Structure formats: C-alpha cells, structure tokens
C-alpha cells in the first residue's frame, strides 16, 4: 500500500520555467546584478577606503546569496546543482553564501506524488502496488534532478527508490545551452583562459547523470573496488526494479556527514570519519582509477563503526594509468616543493599555455596549487583556508594575463571538483590529513607492494582491511 506519511500537496516543480528565454533571463539578470554590485563597491572603495567597503561588501554577499538561492529555487535544474556545490565551500566562499546556499541541500521543492507515481508506473511497466507493499509518499530527499522515496518491496526488503523528475531532461538541455552562452561571454571578458572545456565536459557528463542504469553500474564498480574494505558501504542495486529513470536500491539510514552532533550521538569521532573520507577518495583516484565525482554532504552518510556510506554515483570518472602516474608525480613534487619537477608534471598532465615554455609551467603550477599546498603543510591542517585560495587566484590571474592557458586536461575538472568539495568537508570535520598527503602515502604503499612482488591484480590488498587504520 502507499504510505501517506505526509500530505505536502501538489505544489511540485511545475512552476519552474521550461522556456529557454525565461530561464536565460532569470539567471542573466541575477548574475548581472550580483556582478555590477561587487564592481560598484570595489570602485567606490578605492576612494572611500576599506572601512567604508567591508560592511557594504558583507551586506552584498548576503543579498547576492539570497538572489542566487531564489533563482535556483525558481529555475531548478542545473541552478540547484550549482548552488548545492557552492554551498559546500566554506573554504572559499564568504560565510553568507555557505549559510544561505546550504539550504539547497535539503529544501529543494519535491515533485507532486501523483506525477511521481505515474512516472514510476510508466518506467517499470506495472502498477506501483504490484512492486511495493509500502511506498512513502513524502520523499526522504529531493535533489536537483531526482527525488528519493523509502519503500518496501513485496519480498520485504526495505529500499530507496530514486525517481527522475518528469521533464527534467528537457530542462537540463536548456540549461546546458544557456550555460554555453554564459561561458562564451566569460571568454570575452576574461581572455586569460578558454573556458569552453567546462561546457564540453558538462555536456558530456550531465546527461549521464540522467541515466540511472549507468549510475547503478558505477555504484557496483565502486562497491567491487572496496569489496574487502570494512568501513566503506555502497547500497546494493535492485536491478529487477530499475530503469533508465527509476533506480531502486538498498535503503540505508545514516547520519549526514556534516552532522557533528549526530555522529557523536552514535559514538563516532568526526576525525575518524575525516580520515576514512580522505583515504577512500585517494584509493579511488590513485589505486583504482575510478572515482565518485560528486562528494557533497547529501551524498555521504555515516554509520556506527565508523563506516562511510557513499550514494549517488551519477557523476563518476575513470582515469587511465598514465594519467594516474603523472598525477601522483605532480602531487609528490608539490609536497617536496620541487618547482622544476612540478612544472614538468604540470605540462605532462595536459596543461598548455601560449608560450609553452618550462618556466611558464613551473610558475603556473606553483601559483595554482604549490603555494596552497605549502601553506597547508605549514599550518598542519588537512584543508586550505579561503585566504590561501584568494592569493592563489590573484597570482594565477596575473600569470595568465601574460601567458594565457590554451588547454586544460578535462580529467582535472572533476578531480578539482572533488578536491574542492573534500576541502570544504575537511574544514567542517577538522581533518588532519589532506587529500594531497593521502595521494602520496598511498602511492608509496603501492610502489612498495610492487617492488616486493605483493601487488594484487586490482592493486588492493586481498585481506579484509579498514581505511581508518591505513
């Protein structure tokens, strides 16, 4: 039977504009007002001083965050996904943005149950009551592209049913087209770098998020990679009740990874969770070459043990062995402060500049991440603070004005996203180990196993193990 655990009505998502022009205008107006506001404050601050500018900038931060939030709720689609990402970056963005946009993790308007039920029945080809003995009407989560309901299968298994919003494919296609336009405008305003690769990568990967068959296979691949790891959990996929737009999987009720008090209530130390989180992503990227590319707080839960639950594998990325090797080499040069070797590795990763000279790559690599990595080591923290990124951004901008970037490896777009999200989480959890250090330590372990002849075909130890003890 359908469980009517709540009656939130039929507000749903039908009010989101589906016309390209309307969606374009909503975003364009918001971005223009935010951008002009900052420019006006910066211009007047030069004459009136910081004491005049700082309180006005703080008010504009909050106003801008509210405008972004309101536009995301109005437009939905990729605006919500972007806002969710920005809301998890306390390491980079002002507190006002994090505070306001964090609401997009939990406050996305759900689709009406009537539409969701009809959508599930179309996808599975049978009435809802033929598949489920119970189905909660109120979703346990509503995200940018889909919502999740708790249900019970006829055989008694409790499951989570992820249902794509009806019509979301059309909205995403419009948003990707509009995004391409905004990126072309950005290219005209900032000629230090060609940003079109961002649009190309999103056009490649976002549609894959709308294919739940692909997501299920991604989940099973990561689960297989962590078969013998006791502190990583990936929900089982129930393929007999899964389609391209409906994904049925094992239901796991955990504590959100940012809920510090919730972790303490179940006897879990947040520092332990931070270590498992960092080591798990190092394993995925360095050892297995296949990683979850969207580790925002809504996709990570904690169970007693502690054990880390990974969900939502719509965004995942495979890396080739050659790229992994260069990435590890680049990381080691960063931690050693070897600028010459870092510049060479920066080019080997796939970066290209107009001058294409060794000195330019050395300078750019150091500005991009070298100084940030060094400051992290000096501070002893497992994350980078916002002021570190501000200086890095300023340095990179000045370098690229003289020597523009002409190519960037697409793999680093997703790795950079993972670094950004984990950096924000590391700050929340007060992590002591950075992802960069975990990369290097794991690479040393793999090299030692290879030299000793004990490296398995998968690159992972065959015996059961815990990442917390790594």
User: Known catalytic residues?
Assistant: 294
Would you state the structure tokens that stand for residue 10, as one six-digit string?
A: 């039929």
Q: Report how far residue 419's alpha carbon sits from residue 428's, in angstroms, rounded to the nearest whole number.
A: 14
CB atoms within 10 A of CB 464: 9
Residue (of 327, 353, 334) closest to 411 by Cα position: 327
Q: Report how far residue 215's alpha carbon sits from residue 109's, in angstroms, rounded to the nearest whole number.
A: 23
Q: Which long-range contacts (CB under 8 A, 24 or more apart) does 184-193 make?
A: 191/404, 192/397, 192/400, 192/401, 192/404, 192/405, 193/400, 193/404, 193/405, 193/408
Furthest CA-CA distance within the chain? 72
Q: Report how far residue 97's alpha carbon sits from residue 65's, in angstroms, rounded to the nearest whole number.
A: 5
CB atoms within 10 A of CB 76: 23
Report whether 340 contacts 366 (CB < 8 A): no
Report whether 423 contacts 91 (CB < 8 A): yes
């Amino acid at each position: 039977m359908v469980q009517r655990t709540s009656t939130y009505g039929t507000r749903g998502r039908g009010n989101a504009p589906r016309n390209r022009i309307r969606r374009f205008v909503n975003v364009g107006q918001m971005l223009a007002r935010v951008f002009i506001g900052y420019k006006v404050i910066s211009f007047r601050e030069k004459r009136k001083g910081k004491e005049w500018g700082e309180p006005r900038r703080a008010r504009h931060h909050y106003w801008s965050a509210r405008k972004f939030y309101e536009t995301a709720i109005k437009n939905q689609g990729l605006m919500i996904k972007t806002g969710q990402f920005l809301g998890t970056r306390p390491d980079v963005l002002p507190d006002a943005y994090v505070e306001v946009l964090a609401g997009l993790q939990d406050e996305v308007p759900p689709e009406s149950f009537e539409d969701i039920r009809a959508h599930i029945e179309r996808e599975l080809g049978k009435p809802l009551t033929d598949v489920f003995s119970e189905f909660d009407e109120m979703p346990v989560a509503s995200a940018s592209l889909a919502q999740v309901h708790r249900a019970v299968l006829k055989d008694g298994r409790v499951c989570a049913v992820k249902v794509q919003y009806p019509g979301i494919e059309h909205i995403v296609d419009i948003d990707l087209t509009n995004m391409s336009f905004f990126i072309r405008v950005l290219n005209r305003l900032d000629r230090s770098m060609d940003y079109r690769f961002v649009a190309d990568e999103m056009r490649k990967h976002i549609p894959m998020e709308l294919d739940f068959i692909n997501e299920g296979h991604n989940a099973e691949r990561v689960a297989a990679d962590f078969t013998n790891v006791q502190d990583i959990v990936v929900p089982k996929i129930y393929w007999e009740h899964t389609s391209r737009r409906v994904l049925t999987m094992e239901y796991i009720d955990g504590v959100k990874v940012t809920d510090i008090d919730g972790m303490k209530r179940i006897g879990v130390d947040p520092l332990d969770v931070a270590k498992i989180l960092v080591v798990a992503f190092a394993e995925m990227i360095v050892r297995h070459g296949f990683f979850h590319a969207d580790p925002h707080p809504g996709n990570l839960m904690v169970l007693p043990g502690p054990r880390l639950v990974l969900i939502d594998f719509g965004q995942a990325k495979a890396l080739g062995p050659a790229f992994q090797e260069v990435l590890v080499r680049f990381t080691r040069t960063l931690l050693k402060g070897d600028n010459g070797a870092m510049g060479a590795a920066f080019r080997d990763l796939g970066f290209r500049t107009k001058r294409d000279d060794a000195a330019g790559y050395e300078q750019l690599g150091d500005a991009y991440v070298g100084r940030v990595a060094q400051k992290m080591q000096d501070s002893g923290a497992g994350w980078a603070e916002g002021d570190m990124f501000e200086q890095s951004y300023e340095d990179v901008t000045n370098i690229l004005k003289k020597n523009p970037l002409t190519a960037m490896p697409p793999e680093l777009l997703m790795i950079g996203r993972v670094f950004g999200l984990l950096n924000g989480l590391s700050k929340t959890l007060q992590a002591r180990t950075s992802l960069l250090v975990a990369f290097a330590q794991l690479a040393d372990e793999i090299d030692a196993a290879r030299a000793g002849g004990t490296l398995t075909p998968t690159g992972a130890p065959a015996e059961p193990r815990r990442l917390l003890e790594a």
